[in-house]
Amino acid sequence: MDLQVVEQVAELGAWISEGGVVILSGAGLSTDSGIPDYRGPSGSARRSTPMTYQAFTRDPIARRRYWARSHLGWRTIGEAFPNDGHRAVAALQGCGVIDGIITQNVDGLHQAAGASDVVELHGNLARIVCLDCGDLTARDALAARLDEANQAFDAAAVAINADGDAELDDTDLDRFTVVDCLSCGGMLKPDVVYFGETVPPERVSRSFALVGNARTLLVLGSSLTVMSGRRFVLRAVREGIRVAIVNRGVTRGEPYAGLHIDAPLGIVLPHLAGEVADEMSAPVRI
């Protein structure tokens, strides 16, 4: 890290050591786990339009094409492991300075790293919900069923998006077979929020409550381009709560941040966790 970043990390470490920190994380936190983000340095431009809830539920062809892409994408998301950034966040939570974690990610890597009580704003790809009976099942079980139903499907993903949606050639998509709910025969969907859906109100209210009671809102790996995350920064500013951002590249939250560290999260966060642990004389494992 260069001198400026070292000084910024030291200042942020002092903020965090005071406690009362709420984390808002985005796709940039998971890039070191092999999951590309949308807009940062590792992101790949999405060629296909993101699936909307309306298209998924009303158009069988769109639904089949989504499941073909998502099934291949799950092979990347489902096999991803937490990186040093995730482990540093869990370590900070273990030090008692983190009051809450809000994530826009759907990969479950915060919990896999040992963090608890994570508000998953947009859900989790590891869960499948039946839109008819509400039954929740594991994604791995569905993946096994889809493999069985598509033994001749040998398409390869061109690229993977942060939401687990793979890019495929159109010629491959029509050869895919979709399966239905084992309990009722209803329509299955990943338990994530699609475009055209709203985040469940209880998640939003819980997140606003966490931010409203925070001393510091720490944004990690988010460009804050969409209002889904930026609204929490705006609320923090209105409440006089200080905002810090660690993100590679530009962010729409920069005008509101007392600190903005443009550096790799996998380097900054372990260093930060170590500084806080030293300050509090607490053991830290990353």
Cα separation of the two ends of the chain: 18
20-79: per-residue pLDDT in tens? Answer: 999 999 999 999 999 987 654 444 444 456 789 999 999 999 999 999 999 988 988 999
Those residues with Cβ within 8 angstroms of residue 238's Cβ, 6 or more apart along the chain or in another chain? none
pTM of the model as a whole: 0.91
Those residues with Cβ within 8 angstroms of residue 246's Cβ, 6 or more apart along the chain or in another chain? 12, 218, 219, 220, 221, 261, 263, 265, 268, 269
Check: CB of residue 92 under 8 Å from CB of residue 276: yes
Q: Which residues pair with 30 in a beta bridge?
A: none
231-271: per-residue pLDDT in tens? Answer: 999 999 999 999 999 999 989 999 999 999 999 999 999 99
Of 86, 122, 260, 271, the catalytic one is: 122
Q: Domain locations in the chain? A: 1-35+82-122+199-286, 44-79+124-192
Examine the residue annotation and report whether 122 is marked as an active-site residue of this protein.
yes
Closest C-alpha among 218, 219, 272 to residue 10: 272
Closest C-alpha among 42, 36, 44 to residue 77: 36
Encoded tokens for 262: 């443009």
Q: Per the annotation, does 133 bind a ligand?
A: yes
The CA distance from 91 to 110, in Å, is 11
* Secondary structure (3-state) at 121: coil
Number of C-beta neighbours around residue 160 at 10 A: 21
Domains 1-35+82-122+199-286 and 44-79+124-192 share a fold: no
Check: CB of residue 81 under 8 Å from CB of residue 112: yes
98-132: per-residue pLDDT in tens? Answer: 999 999 999 999 999 999 999 999 999 999 999 99
Q: Is the dihedral of CA 74, 79, 84, 88 positive or negative?
A: positive
Closest C-alpha among 171, 189, 179, 175 to residue 134: 189
What per-residue confidence (pLDDT) applies to 71? 93
The CA distance from 42 to 169, in Å, is 22
What per-residue confidence (pLDDT) applies to 232? 98
Number of C-beta neighbours around residue 16 at 10 A: 25
- Fold of the 1-35+82-122+199-286 domain: Rossmann fold (3.40.50)
Q: Per the annotation, does 95 bind a ligand?
A: no
The CA distance from 214 to 25, in Å, is 15
- Give helix then strand counts, H and E, for the chain: 10, 11
- Where b means 16+ CB within 10 Å and e means fewer, 24-61 reads bbbbbbbbbbebbbbbbebbeeeeeeebbeebbeeeee
191-220: per-residue pLDDT in tens? Answer: 999 988 999 999 999 999 999 999 999 999
Query: Rg of the chain's alpha carbons, rounded to an integer?
Result: 20
Closest C-alpha among 60, 186, 74 to residue 130: 186
- Fold of the 44-79+124-192 domain: SIR2/SIRT2 'Small Domain' (3.30.1600)
